[in-house]
Amino acid sequence: MKRVADNPGCICWTGLIILSCAIGILLIINAGILTYGYYSTCGEYRQGLSKNSQITGQMAAVINARLSCGAIFDFMDYLEPVTRPFQRKEYVNYNRPHEERDFQRGPFINTGLSLQIAISSAWINCIVWIVIFVSNSIIVFSERDWCRRTK
C-alpha cells in the first residue's frame, strides 16, 4: 500500500507549484519596483527639466502635465551629454549637446524605449509564471485521486 508521500509524481507537482508561486511573487515585486522607479524617475526628470531649463508658464504646464514619460526621457537623453565617467570637464555647453557626446560609445541612448521594453518584459514574465502556477495547480487538483490511489 503506497501513501501520498511515497508517490514521487505528487511530490514533484507540489514542488513545481511552490517553486512557480515563489518565482511569480518575486517577479511581481520586481516588476512593481521597476514600474515605480520608471514613474518616479520620470517625475524627478520633469521637475529637473522645468527648473534647469528655466521654463515658465504654458511650457512648464506642458512639461509637467502633458508630455509622456517617454518624451521626458528623450529630452533628458538629448540634454545630458554622454561622457566618460572619470573624465572631468570644466565646462559643459548645454546649447550644443551633440558636440559633448562621447563618440567612442556611439549615438545617444534611447532610455525611454529601453526602460519601456524592460517594464513590458518584466510584466510579461510575471504573467507567464502566474500561468505556469495556475496550470500546475490545475494538474495537481485534477489528479488528486491519482495521488491518493493505493496499490
Q: Is 150 left (phi over 0), alpha (psi -120 to 50) or beta?
A: beta
Rounded to whole angstroms, the Cα distance separating 96 from 93 reads: 6
Rounded to whole angstroms, the Cα distance separating 38 from 56 reads: 25
127 domain-assigned: yes
8 domain-assigned: no
pTM for this predicted structure: 0.68
Rounded to whole angstroms, the Cα distance separating 48 from 76 reads: 9
The sign of the torsion formed by the CA atoms of 87, 88, 93, 94 equals positive
Rounded to whole angstroms, the Cα distance separating 1 from 28 reads: 42
Domain that holds residue 138: 16-148
93 domain-assigned: yes
Residue 103, pLDDT score: 47
- 97's CB contacts (< 8 A; 6+ apart) are 78, 79, 80, 81
Residue 150, pLDDT score: 47
88 domain-assigned: yes
Q: Which three cell numbers stand for residue 89?
A: 570637464
Question: Following DSSP, what letter does each residue of 51-101 receive, concatenated?
Answer: HHTT--THHHHIIIIIS-HHHHHHHHHHHS----TT---S---TT-GGGSS
At 80 the three-state DSSP class reads coil
2 domain-assigned: no
Rounded to whole angstroms, the Cα distance separating 132 from 128 reads: 6
11 domain-assigned: no
Domain count, the chain: 1
Q: Is 111:23 a contact under the CB 8 Å cutoff?
A: no
5 domain-assigned: no
pLDDT, one tens digit for every residue, the chain (151 residues): 455 555 555 667 778 888 999 999 999 999 999 999 999 999 888 888 887 777 778 888 888 888 888 888 887 877 765 555 545 555 555 665 555 554 444 566 788 888 999 999 999 999 999 999 999 888 877 776 655 554 4
Q: Is 45:147 a contact under the CB 8 Å cutoff?
A: no
67 domain-assigned: yes
